[in-house]
Amino acid sequence: MEVLLILLLAGALFLAAYTTYGRWLSRRIFELAPDAVCPSNALRDDRDFVPTAKSIVFGHHFTSIAGTGPIVGPAIAILWGWVPALLWIICGSIFIGAVHDLGALVVSLRNKGQTVGDIAGRLLNRRVRILFLLILFMALTIVLAVFGLVIAAVFRQFPASILPCLLQIPIALAIGFWIHRHGKAILVPSLLALAVMYLTVIFGDIGFLHTLNAAMTAWPIIVWVVLLLLYSYVASILPVWSLLQPRDYINSLQLITALGLTVIGLAVAAFFGGAPLADGARPALELAAPAVQWRPEGAPAIFPFLFITIACGAISGFHCLVSSGTSSKQLTRETDAQFVGYGAMLLEGFLATLVVLACAAGVGLGLSAADGTLLAGREAWLSLYGSWGALAGLAPKVGAFVNGSANFLAAMGLPREMGVALMGVLVASFAGTTMDSACRLQRYVIQELAGALRTGRQRAPLADAVTRTLANKHGATIVAILVAGIVAAFPAPGRDWSLATAGGGGMLLWPLFGATNQLLGGLAFLVIFFYLRRARKPVWFVVLPGLFMLVMPFWAMFMQVFIRTEDGASWLARGEWLLVFIGTATMLLEIWMVAEAFLLLRKRPSDPSPLPVPA
């Protein structure tokens, strides 16, 4: 019963935060106005700027920001104990993450839908704009290079998820074009599509389809990476109404219903126990993970690494890109920003809470060991969480959540194999929607970089032609997938190149992503701070979160470069010169940007009227 009470308390806190703190921010601080003209209407082009119902934007926003982050991060972090993980998730979501997402969304809404990197150039200065955009480019390159590997790994671990995920694409395209042509509401066709998608989960691994899934799991990783990057290119240049919106909306319905079923299963397990074991007994639902574990074997220090291990689910700098890159171009009314920006982050926090409980308690309801022995309780948990090294690779982290949540579904009578397939589809779908959104965001970043490099200077004909090409949506998107593809084409660290090993190159840079991603959150808070300061609004509620998100990632990056990493040796000591160079450069860029902000802070706030936005 303790597990259910924790979930209910977390849900109550998130609801209370939305109706109190979120409403106060929206009405008193940002003063969202229902009659304000949003970029989706002012700059409507029916491709990127498309006025859209808030429920559809919410679906796109939630599935884009969630990804595998709120699953993988909490699944690792409970090694330090479920109490620190939950405290960071709940407090971080309410007071830092949701404020960050809402603030980035509102600032972009009032600056013609531009990204926070572009807005930083006008709120601070041109140098900051280029620095910020370069950091965004590096972070998104890592996402694009790695997420193809992530999706392929999920497909290999859970083959029954392959066809349901692939069939989502034609289903979404059909709905998008049908609704656009006939002007119908999206809810009813989306519910029909949702029913079809669940049928694909139930029957997508039977007979010939099982053989087909098995054949596709044997494909080299690089094949999946190339196919997914090509898909991302198409998804990035298509109008948002054709694929991005319907796919994300359908995915959000599927994912929310899956989470709802998991919550029901958890409640059944709390009252009646888990699915019967071999002896017919129903194991009690208990927290098998320790409450606090300050020094797990082989793990880095809880401070600062807890706060970069759990990013999505508490706060993630990637969210400012989604808020200011795509969602701000689709909202029809300013007042929808609270529901989309603040509300989606709280739902992600709830998802992360459920992940912690699935890994801390759900795993204990029954887990098959490598030799076929059925483990339960603390013994089952220790089989996955014996040490930090036991969590190396994607499979143990995702597997802990999938198996734990499948145990919740099995408690209410759903066959365990079907529960595993459903959770595998959930993970792969989250990763897929994040990948295609990241490609569109990278296109915006490259286009804005091209505009920044062209502004105010006479260029040589060749340089001018290059920047013009990058300012084009096709040119920018091709560069985005080419750079990600080149990075991904390398093998994973420590392996020789071959067709079988290619595709893991993104893992060369992946150790940088945690701190770099959180640093983006701190830099986004700088932009929100100076926006509010210029408008002569209260800023106290962004100062402490902003400082926290500047200090923690810097601290973690410094420790990784010079002091220690997960295996005890720093990147410098191990001779990881690429990581040392990029990590040091990132820290220097942060120091530079903070110095620029400090110099600007010494000046008095200028005219509170909105900054002029160039066409």
- Among the ranges given (186-190, 249-253, 368-372, 546-550), the one the predictor scored with the smallest mean pLDDT: 368-372
- Among the ranges given (123-137, 340-354, 532-546), the one the predictor scored with the smallest mean pLDDT: 123-137
Distance CA 37, CA 307 (A): 37
Is the pLDDT assigned to residue 615 strictly greater than 50?
no
540's tokens: 């106290």
Q: Could you tell me the pLDDT band of residue 278, with boundaries at 50, 70 and 90?
A: confident
Q: At what angle do helices 208-217 and 126-157 cross, to 10 degrees?
A: 130
Distance CA 526, CA 592 (A): 13
Nearest to 438 by CA among 246, 244, 232, 152: 232
Is the pLDDT assigned to residue 609 strictly greater than 50?
no
CATH of domain 36-601: 1.10.4160
Compute how many other C-beta atoms are within 10 angstroms of the C-beta atom of residue 124.
Answer: 20
Q: Could you tell me the pLDDT band of residue 458, with boundaries at 50, 70 and 90?
A: low
pLDDT attached to residue 612: 46
Nearest to 103 by CA among 513, 440, 526: 526
Distance CA 609, CA 607 (A): 5
159's tokens: 């083959």
pLDDT attached to residue 614: 47
Q: Can you name the residues that pair with 52 across neighbouring β-strands? A: 331
pLDDT attached to residue 184: 67
Distance CA 556, CA 306 (A): 10
Distance CA 494, CA 77 (A): 26
Compute how many other C-beta atoms are within 10 angstroms of the C-beta atom of residue 65.
Answer: 30
Compute how many other C-beta atoms are within 10 angstroms of the C-beta atom of residue 202.
Answer: 14
Domain boundaries, the chain: 36-601
The residue to which tokens 């220097």 are assigned: 588
Q: What b/e string do you get for 286-308 counting C-beta neighbours within 10 Å, with b at 16 or more?
A: bbbbbeebeebebbbebebbbbb
- Sorted by sequence, the CB contacts under 8 Å of residue 81 that are 6+ apart come out as 289, 290, 291, 292, 293
434's tokens: 């994040």
Helix, strand or coil, per DSSP, at residue 448: helix
Nearest to 255 by CA among 490, 38, 437, 63: 63
pLDDT attached to residue 498: 86
Nearest to 438 by CA among 537, 321, 327, 323: 321
Q: Can you name the residues that pair with 491 across neighbouring β-strands? A: 502
200's tokens: 């694909």
Q: Could you tell me the pLDDT band of residue 347, with boundaries at 50, 70 and 90?
A: very high
pLDDT attached to residue 399: 85
Distance CA 587, CA 527 (A): 18
Contact 325, 444 (CB under 8 A): yes
Q: Can you name the residues that pair with 368 across neighbouring β-strands? A: 374
Contact 508, 307 (CB under 8 A): no
Compute how many other C-beta atoms are within 10 angstroms of the C-beta atom of residue 453.
Answer: 18
Q: Which helix (H) or strand (E) element contains residue 7?
A: helix 2-17
The residue to which tokens 């009314």 are assigned: 333
Q: At what angle do helices 244-272 and 416-454 cross, to 10 degrees?
A: 140
pLDDT attached to residue 455: 61
Q: Which helix (H) or strand (E) element contains residue 374?
A: strand 374-375
pLDDT attached to residue 567: 61
Distance CA 341, CA 323 (A): 7
Is the pLDDT assigned to residue 340 strictly greater than 90?
yes
Nearest to 51 by CA among 305, 248, 336: 336
- Among the ranges given (179-183, 238-242, 401-405, 586-590), the one the predictor scored with the smallest mean pLDDT: 179-183
276's tokens: 């019967």
Spell out the SS3 assignment of 473-540.
Answer: HHHHHHHHHHHHHHHHHCECCCCCCCCCCECCHHHHCHHHHHHHHHHHHHHHHHHHHHHHHHCCCCCH
Segment 81-109 shows an average pLDDT of 97
Question: What are the distances in angstroms from CA 605 to CA 130, 225, 441?
Answer: 23, 48, 31
Distance CA 513, CA 583 (A): 10
Segment 482-500 shows an average pLDDT of 87
177's tokens: 């074009």
Query: What single-letter amino acid sits at 547?
Result: L
Segment 445-452 shows an average pLDDT of 86
270's tokens: 């709390």
Mean predicted lDDT score pLDDT of the chain: 88
Distance CA 602, CA 274 (A): 61
Model confidence pLDDT, tens digit, residues 16-69: 999 999 999 999 999 999 999 999 999 999 989 999 999 999 999 999 998 788
- Give burial (CB, 10 Å; 0-12/13-18/19+) of 156: middle
Is the pLDDT assigned to residue 140 strictly greater than 80?
yes
Compute how many other C-beta atoms are within 10 angstroms of the C-beta atom of residue 606.
Answer: 9
Instruction: State pTM to two decimals.
Output: 0.92
Report the range out of 19-23, 392-396, 589-593 with the highest average pLDDT.
Answer: 19-23
- DSSP-derived secondary structure for 39-78: HHHHT--SSSS--B-HHHHHHHHHHHHHTTHHHHHHHHHG
- Sorted by sequence, the CB contacts under 8 Å of residue 173 that are 6+ apart come out as 242, 243, 246
Helix, strand or coil, per DSSP, at residue 230: helix
- Sorted by sequence, the CB contacts under 8 Å of residue 499 that are 6+ apart come out as 220, 222
Q: Is the peptide bond before 159 cis (omega within 30 degrees of 0)?
A: no
pLDDT attached to residue 605: 61
Contact 482, 233 (CB under 8 A): no
